């Protein structure tokens, strides 16, 4: 048993390159307290805000903390967590995703000795050493869905962040739990054309944003929390809404965009301002800010949205679209 762990960890040491990691791994190779087999060190990340942890689904504090203990804890749940992180010598955190509030740090920021084995490192002050679980049976890292039924992903928006009120005004309880599918279906059944998923478990619906979209656009990576009822999907975050729009009823072409009919009328008077243009800004601009996360596979899929801007046919249109009133 021990020999197999030693073998697995010594193999990992060959793969990793960073100076601190190397020291850690060389030591770990001879130490059965290294992270369990199937778990791979992905980096040292910031964890500066106790109100919004980098890994926030579960946690334990144990003076005998080691990477082995933490990865065992996070892998022990009915649905094993994708990420485990040690911090401040004795703490352990688990999540399905690395939250968008985190940034990747130099590995040297995670240099505190582990409480249970001082030859290993367990994070730092405001810094968490994160391992990813690649064991069989572990689900995918949660992601957005470009399209669900008649709904199209629109982006990530803030909710009720002062001085703004609630972004969407109708809240629903969903039988069986909130997922992208169940919440969009709930909104559609109740006649709404905007769906917002928040904090892993809230379902919001509306016909319009109560605040101009340009004022509440958030980086895609902000919406980083797994849906509690489907850990493979993203459901916003604290004060963040993953937003989906109901496509117009009759769209025969393959375009999934929500842009309503503008192309048909070349004259296009100012009228069709619509709320939709909002969507455009979000993905492109903000994405680059949060560099670190290798986890967020979501980003690429979402880029579909910006297509709405294009419409080269109508020369006048482009100018109007950008300025969301």
The footprint of ligand NAG (CB under 6 A) covers: 40, 69, 72-73, 76, 106, 108, 132, 134, 141, 149-150, 164, 188, 193-194, 207, 211-212, 215, 245-246, 249, 258, 274-276
293: nearest Cα among 54, 58, 25: 54
Q: How far is the CB of 231 from ligand NAG (least distance, A)?
A: 13
219 CB-side CA count, 13 A:
15
105 and 46 in contact (C-beta within 8 Å)? yes
Minimum CB–partner distance for residue 211 and ligand NAG (Å): 5
- Token pair 């972004």 is found at 167
CA distances from 195 to 3, 7, 99, 167 (A): 52, 49, 22, 11
Which CB atom, from 51 or from 63, has the smaller least distance to ligand NAG? 63
Which is closer to ligand NAG, CB of 52 or CB of 323? 323
Q: With respect to ligand NAG, which residue has the nearer C-beta, 52 or 294?
A: 294
CB atoms within 10 A of CB 114: 24
Whose CB is nearest to ligand NAG?
149
Distance CA 181, CA 229 (A): 11
Is 189 or 316 the residue whose CB approaches ligand NAG more closely?
189
* Spatial distance between the Cα atoms of 243 and 6, rounded to a whole number of angstroms: 46
CB of 222 to ligand NAG, least distance (A): 18
Smallest gap from residue 276 Cβ to ligand NAG (A): 5
> Considering the complex, what minimum distance in angstroms separates the CB of residue 142 from ligand NAG?
11
């Amino acid at each position: 048993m021990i020999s197999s762990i030693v073998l697995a960890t010594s193999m990992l040491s060959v793969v990793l390159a960073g100076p601190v990691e190397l020291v850690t791994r060389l030591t770990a190779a001879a130490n059965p307290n290294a992270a369990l087999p199937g778990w791979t060190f992905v980096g040292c990340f910031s964890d500066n805000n106790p109100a919004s942890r980098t890994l926030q689904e579960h946690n334990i504090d144990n003076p005998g903390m080691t990477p082995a203990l933490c990865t065992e804890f996070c892998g022990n749940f009915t649905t094993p967590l994708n990420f485990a992180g040690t911090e401040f010598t004795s703490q352990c955190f688990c999540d399905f995703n690395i939250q968008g509030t985190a940034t990747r740090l130099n590995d040297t920021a995670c240099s505190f000795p582990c409480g249970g084995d001082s030859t290993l490192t367990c994070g730092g002050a405001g810094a968490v050493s994160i391992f990813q679980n690649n064991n069989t049976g572990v689900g995918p890292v949660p992601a957005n869905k470009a399209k669900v039924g008649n709904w199209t992903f629109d982006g990530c928006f803030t909710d009720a962040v002062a001085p703004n009120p609630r972004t969407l005004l109708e809240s629903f309880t969903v039988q069986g739990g909130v997922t992208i599918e169940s919440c969009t279906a709930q909104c559609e059944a109740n006649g709404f054309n905007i769906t917002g998923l928040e904090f892993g478990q809230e379902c919001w619906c509306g016909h319009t944003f109560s605040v101009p979209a340009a004022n509440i656009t958030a980086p895609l990576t902000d919406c980083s929390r797994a849906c509690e009822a489907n850990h493979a999907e993203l459901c916003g975050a604290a004060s963040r809404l993953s937003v989906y729009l109901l496509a117009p009823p009759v769209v025969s072409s393959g375009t999934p965009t929500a842009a309503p009919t503008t192309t048909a009328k070349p004259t296009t008077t100012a009228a069709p301002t619509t709320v939709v243009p909002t969507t455009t800004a979000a993905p492109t601009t903000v994405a680059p800010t949060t560099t670190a996360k290798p986890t967020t596979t979501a980003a690429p899929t979402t880029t579909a949205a910006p297509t709405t801007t294009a419409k080269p046919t109508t020369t006048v249109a482009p100018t109007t679209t950008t300025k969301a009133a």
